[in-house]
Amino acid sequence: MIAFTVNKETVEVDADGNMPLLWALRDLLKMTGTKFGCGIAQCGACTVHLDGQAIRACVMPISAVAGKSVTTIEGMPKDASHPVQQAWMEHNVPQCGYCQSGQIMSAVALLAQNPNPNDVDIDNFMQGNICRCGTYPRIKAAIKSAAVNAKVLGNTAYNYDLANNVGGEV
């Protein structure tokens, strides 16, 4: 049994320690918001937070997750009230939507590190997330909107704690 927390809830999985976190989430815990895109950390569809850092769940063995804290897209507010979710809706970012869980989790992690990213910062951080539908211009615009909105709200939506605990109050 390997124990860790997912969106603040403690879970235990009975599986080979080499199993990537992605498949533990999707098949064992039935949390399918985190997507399978490539299996080799090339596309970012499976991006989740591990102790607040954006990682690719498809190459993270669950043995390395033991005792740690995982945040997935399901940990984002269900009412879509997080500034990143709000910005995604404001810009109508998704097309097919498949990569967007990973895009959103990367964007939340980026803004946690850098609350005011410029174009180059966004390119550098988001270049690991492929969108075959081509929503890049809207993702970039949405990240900038989210940064502005978070400041207007006067909150700390992107500090480390909240990125690690995105289900909390924003």
Q: Would you tell me which residues interact with other proteins (CB under 8 A)? A: 15-16, 19-20, 23, 26-28, 30, 32-40, 42-43, 45, 72-74, 76-78, 80, 85, 88-89, 92, 94-101, 104, 122-124, 126-127, 129-140
Helix (H, G, I), strand (E, B) or coil at 146: helix
| Pick from 71, 144, 141: nearest CA to 114 | 144
First CA to last CA distance, the chain:
34
Strands 69-71, 2-6: pairing kind: parallel
User: Which residue shows structure tokens 């939507």?
Assistant: 97
Minimum distance between the CB of residue 5 and other proteins, rounded to whole angstroms?
17
Specify the residue, 52 or 94, whose C-beta has the smaller distance to other proteins: 94
- We find the least distance from the C-beta atom of residue 54 to other proteins, in angstroms, to be 14
If the CB atoms of residues 52 and 83 are measured against other proteins, the closer one turns out to be: 83
Minimum distance from residue 42 beta carbon to other proteins (Å) = 4
Which tokens is 30 given? 């039935």
Give the CA distances from residue 170 to residues 16, 65, 119, in Å, rounded to whole numbers and listed in that order. 37, 26, 25
Phi first, then psi, for residue 125 (nearest 5°) are -80, -35
Nearer to other proteins by Cβ, of 11 and 38: the residue is 38
**Closest separation between CB of residue 29 and other proteins, Å?**
11
- 139 or 163, CB closer to other proteins? 139
